[in-house]
Amino acid sequence: MKRMTKLNPWGTNDIKDYPKLFEEFGVSPFEELLAEVSNPHPYMRRGIIFGHRDYQSVLDAMHLKEPFGVMSGFMPSGPVHLGHKMVMDEIIWHQRMGAEAFFGIADMEAHAVRGVSWKECTERGINEYILSMIALGFEPSGRIYFQSKDAFVKDLAFEVGTEANLSEMSAIYGFSGETHISHMFSALVQSADILHPQLSEYGGPKPVVIPVGFDQDPHIRLTRDIASRMRMFKVEKRDDYISIRAKRPNEEAMDDIADRVEGDVKLYAEHVDIYDNDDLKNIEAIVRSVEIDHGGYGLHPPSSIYHRFMSGLTGGKMSSTNPDSIIALTETPDAAAEKVKKAKTGGRVTLTDQRKLGGEPQKCTIYELLLFHLIEDDAQIAEIFKECKEGKRTCGRCKALAAELMIKFLKEHQEGRERAKEQLEEYGLKL
């Protein structure tokens, strides 16, 4: 089937039909896993996180108290705003649930794709994104880094490049003969960002989730494929045995696997078959360990969760390219409140129609602000939605509430950003 939805990680994507993505891109509905999540984030409870790829592996690790990670980051090409806060919130929630957390500043991408100077990348990365991340609750146990300053990420990007080719990159990203090489390489660096939490320096292979908007799914799909290609062995459950097959001949590694696994082991030139042992998880762990001992990586394919885009205050997608559409986390609370008061709503043309027909909160940017960021209580959100639909609530009332709550949030957040300046050394950073 021809894919109709076009995704551009460096452009503006305004997705309207989220369920369509399940069929087109093989994404699974998140609601199917919701009952398994302990203390779910409001984005999970409210359907804002709508889809996932292989999040079950992360949930399993979470429940079993086994190592797992969370990783995401930002290109420092504009002011930090509420859309960015969504990803930050998701990273921090996973960190609190026990994840090893990784937060990257994609300065190589910003320099290659947007032409942002290295100096500006550093200043904006710290003063905009990192200060807000710390203020929102990111703990020092997590890792904050810049792509350009991280040898592990850059070295891994080179290795990742051995498993990707130009025709594939062109098909995924639309690269052409006019695309410069640094732009192409920045996509490989993003794959290295996603995979590097599984390096031995950070505890080795483990499930890692990448929280993103769906416009970033091309990076996820490419990286999942690359992670599979970088494996030395393929482990498969057959009818009555488990088969371990080498992608390239490696007699010594095959012997190691045969020595370490339990059961009725039959060793062949390029594969090992194991009978009387159906513990697939343990066998996979042994194979990953052998891979690492023989110079491999033993990578898990990265998992991902996808959240809905916030609407811009003027309609359409919230984007830094349209300052009136966003609320920056660094702008004055009063200025933000004025934007809220002028924002597009889902109200009817007249108050009479509003009372007669009811409003359309599902189309309202003010309701989204309350739903995504400003109200923690699910019951209060449900009541606002109901009153709006029934025509019992006016747009002015919601705008006044949202403006008041926005002022409160920004004042507290910006106080937290000031405190974060004094905490940077705890994260290995300085202004």
> What are the structural domains, with CATH classification, of the chain?
18-230+301-307 (3.40.50.620), 233-293 (no CATH), 323-427 (1.10.240.10)
The first and second tokens of residue 196, run together, are 């590097």
| pLDDT of amino acid 359 | 84
Contact 267, 254 (CB under 8 A): yes
For the chain, the first-to-last Cα distance in angstroms comes to 51
| Angle, CA 106 vertex, CA 103 and CA 107 arms, to 5° | 130
| pLDDT of amino acid 175 | 84
Question: What number of other Cβ atoms are within 10 A of residue 167's Cβ?
Answer: 9
Contact 13, 214 (CB under 8 A): yes
d(Cα 130, Cα 103) in Å, to the nearest integer? 9
Q: What is the mean pLDDT of each run of 10 residues along the chain (431 residues)?
A: 50 62 85 96 96 97 97 94 96 98 96 94 97 98 96 96 90 84 91 97 97 91 95 92 89 92 89 91 94 95 94 80 88 96 83 81 93 96 94 91 98 98 90 72
d(Cα 236, Cα 10) in Å, to the nearest integer? 37
The first and second tokens of residue 254, run together, are 């095959």
Task: Note the maximum CA span of the chain.
Answer: 80
Host H or E run for residue 151: helix 151-161
| pLDDT of amino acid 415 | 98
The first and second tokens of residue 141, run together, are 């146990």
The amino acid occupying position 62 is M
The first and second tokens of residue 28, run together, are 């699974």
Phi then psi for 53, rounded to 5 degrees? -120, 115
| pLDDT of amino acid 431 | 72
Phi then psi for 212, rounded to 5 degrees? -150, 165
Calculate Rg over the CA atoms of the chain. Answer: 24
Question: Rounded to the nearest 10 degrees, how much is the dihedral formed by the CA atoms of 380, 382, 383, 384?
Answer: 90
- Residue that is written with structure tokens 């792509």 in the block: 147
Contact 314, 345 (CB under 8 A): no
Question: What number of other Cβ atoms are within 10 A of residue 87's Cβ?
Answer: 20
Give the burial class of 364: count Cβ atoms within 10 A of its Cβ; 0-12 exposed, 13-18 middle, 19 or more buried: buried
Specify the pTM.
0.92
Beta-sheet strands, E only, within 75-129: 100-105
Helix, strand or coil, per DSSP, at residue 373: helix
Which is it for the CA torsion 399, 405, 409, 412, positive or negative?
A: positive
Which is it for the CA torsion 86, 88, 93, 98, positive or negative?
A: positive
| pLDDT of amino acid 2 | 46
Question: What number of other Cβ atoms are within 10 A of residue 275's Cβ?
Answer: 13
d(Cα 245, Cα 239) in Å, to the nearest integer? 16
The DSSP secondary-structure symbol of 265 reads: E
Bridge-partner residues for 49, per DSSP?
A: 307
The first and second tokens of residue 417, run together, are 């950003």
